[in-house]
Amino acid sequence: MTRKYFGTDGVRGKVGEDPITPEFALKLGWAAGKALARNGQSWVVMGKDTRLSGYLLESALEAGLSAAGVSVRLLGPMPTPAIAYLTRAFHADAGIVISASHNPYYDNGIKFFGADGKKLQDDVEASIEEWLDKPLAIEVPDALGKAMRQDDARGRYIEFCKSSFPFHLSLRGLKIVLDCANGAAYQVGPSVFTELGADVIRLACAPDGLNINRDCGSTHPEALQKAVVEQGADLGIAFDGDSDRVLMVDRHGELVDGDELIVIIARERMATGNGIGGVVGTLMSNLGMEVAVREMGLEFVRAKVGDRHVMAEMEGRGWTLGGEASGHIVCLDKTTTGDAIIAALQVLTAMVRTGTSLHELRKGMQKYPQHLVNVRVGKRSDPMVHPRVLEAVKAAEARLADRGRVLLRASGTEPLIRVMVEGAEKSVVEGLAKELALVVTEALA
């Protein structure tokens, strides 16, 4: 559908600029309430990350929901996947998350989960957009919604996460450096791993409303890499601001990305007889991931970039594992959305069960050199409709043969063409990427 307000992951922007204003949040709360309203009492759960602006948006959304006659349980700072779980656990009509994920503190966003703990269906988003264009009409006083704090929300989610780790195993003896990005998992993250027996060293677990994702977390893992080596830890774990992405660091301080983590989880599922059907990656997933998955005897398919596309492909095929190199990993046999804590626990399960370090487990996937060049163009267009570009791509693919691939795609948010070349030899990959970038520049100038 064509969206006027919703992007690929809810509504997001800079605080104080349309649409991230208290006025719009109030109207959005009311519109969502009207779209979700049913006979009898309707209610939602709502959580947020640690941004200072979360207070403002939470109050505005609460007021809008109440005006529509919808009650709300306020969960406070909680990971995005926790809201997905608690929406189902409380049998709520929807879940609302106030977060801009891995973005800086001055951004914020609002996204929704349906009653099933999954992203809203397109028809529901369309209904909300229709109500947004209507005049706000407040319900009669005796039909207004109520608000209450759900004080035990944190403990409920902690227990849910722990239930995804085998009861007969323990993390005792493991020293883990945990970087929570000064974000939504700063309380629940350390509790989960500590209660399962690990010695947890906390990093970026002191949010002040402004330091979320600042030089920390999965987008800035350098401090974690350094801390793992200095502390002599077995591994490091990095979340992003809303804890739906996870990256890891092995004992040598080397980063282990989402592609590698998915391969580890897939191999563990196969070893323990838990069928996953196949694995869904994206157009940007490393070729080494595809090779490793196919060597396990599993199918591998690529979806468009974005968790919505990955989820759609997984559900359409009935598969339970997929994700992106960024660390957004979905284990549908455990939960309904990307969950950093649960994904990390699946990797730790493989480590503990086999007695193998993360450094050794990652060797199950050989990463291919990958080079990306962003070409700025005057306007967005499909580069593959230009004969000269098409000819250059075919020549590059012929040179790589079956040991590499070429991908050209237009950015969805900027006037950029992303030129990516992947192959066995780094020098060849870099050379081809630069050559193709020059052709694209000249063709689309």
pLDDT in tens, 117-160: 999 888 999 999 999 999 999 999 999 999 999 999 999 999 99
The rounded Cα 336 to chain-centroid distance in angstroms is 12
Q: What is the identity of the amino acid at 233? A: A
> Which amino acids are annotated catalytic?
101
Neighbouring C-beta atoms of residue 165, cutoff 10 Å: 22
pLDDT band at 2, cuts 50/70/90? low
CA–CA separation, 206 and 109 (whole Å): 21
Q: From 241, 248, 261, select the one nearest 79 (Cα to Cα).
A: 241
Q: What is the mean pLDDT of the chain?
A: 94
CA–CA separation, 30 and 417 (whole Å): 39
Pick the CATH number of 370-443 from 3.40.50.740, 3.30.310.50, 3.90.79.10, 3.90.180.10: 3.30.310.50
Average pLDDT over every residue of 317-345: 97
Question: Please, are residues 85 and 160 in contact by the beta-carbon 8 Å criterion?
Answer: yes
pLDDT at position 26: 98
Could you identify the residue written with the tokens 């979700």?
Answer: 36
Q: What is the identity of the amino acid at 366? A: Q
pLDDT in tens, 319-332: 999 999 999 999 99
In this structure, what DSSP letter does residue 366 have?
A: -
Query: Assign residue 410 a region: left if phi > 0, alpha if psi is -120 to 50, beta otherwise?
Result: beta
With H, G, I as helix, E, B as strand and everything else as coil, classify residue 353: helix
Average pLDDT over every residue of 348-373: 96
Q: Can you point out the beta strands (E) in 355-412? A: 370-376, 404-410
Question: Please, are residues 218 and 245 in contact by the beta-carbon 8 Å criterion?
Answer: yes
- Is the pLDDT confidence value at 109 over 80? yes
pLDDT in tens, 64-107: 999 999 999 999 999 999 999 999 999 999 999 999 999 999 99
364 vs 377, more confident: 364
334 vs 402, more confident: 334
Under CATH, what is the fold of the domain 258-340+350-364? Alpha-D-Glucose-1,6-Bisphosphate; Chain A, domain 3 (3.40.120)
Residue count (the chain): 445
CA–CA separation, 27 and 29 (whole Å): 5
Percent of the chain with pLDDT over 70: 98
Distance (Å) of CA 9 to CA 230, 323, 381, 416: 38, 15, 23, 20
pLDDT in tens, 198-210: 999 999 999 999 9
Q: Can you point out the beta strands (E) in 183-284? A: 199-203, 235-239, 246-250, 255-256, 278-282
pLDDT in tens, 373-415: 999 887 767 888 889 999 999 999 999 988 899 999 887 667 8
What is the CATH number that goes with domain 172-255? Answer: 3.40.120.10
pLDDT band at 444, cuts 50/70/90? confident
* Cα Dmax for the chain: 72
Q: From 78, 139, 86, select the one nearest 116 (Cα to Cα).
A: 86
pLDDT at position 413: 65
pLDDT at position 122: 86
Looking at the domain covering 11-154, what would its CATH class be?
alpha beta
CA–CA separation, 151 and 160 (whole Å): 16
Which segments of the chain belong to CATH 3.40.120.10? 11-154, 172-255, 258-340+350-364
CA–CA separation, 410 and 164 (whole Å): 38
pLDDT in tens, 149-176: 999 999 999 999 999 999 999 999 999 9
| Continuous H helices in 239-326 | 258-271, 287-295, 307-317
CA–CA separation, 246 and 101 (whole Å): 12
- Is the pLDDT confidence value at 1 over 70? no
Distance (Å) of CA 125 to CA 1, 4, 11, 23, 60: 9, 10, 11, 19, 19
Percent of the chain with pLDDT over 90: 87
- Is the pLDDT confidence value at 233 over 90? yes
CA–CA separation, 147 and 45 (whole Å): 10
How is residue 143 written in tokens?
């039909």
- Is the pLDDT confidence value at 45 over 90? yes
What kind and span of H or E run contains 33? Answer: helix 22-36
Q: From 212, 203, 209, 31, select the one nearest 129 (Cα to Cα).
A: 31
Which segments of the chain belong to CATH 3.30.310.50? 370-443
Q: From 218, 231, 254, select the one nearest 177 (Cα to Cα).
A: 231
Q: From 24, 62, 225, select the one nearest 6 (Cα to Cα).
A: 24
Could you identify the residue written with the tokens 């005792």?
Answer: 172
pLDDT at position 377: 85
**Looking at 53-62, 231-240, 414-423, which range is the least confident one?**
414-423
Average pLDDT over every residue of 339-343: 98
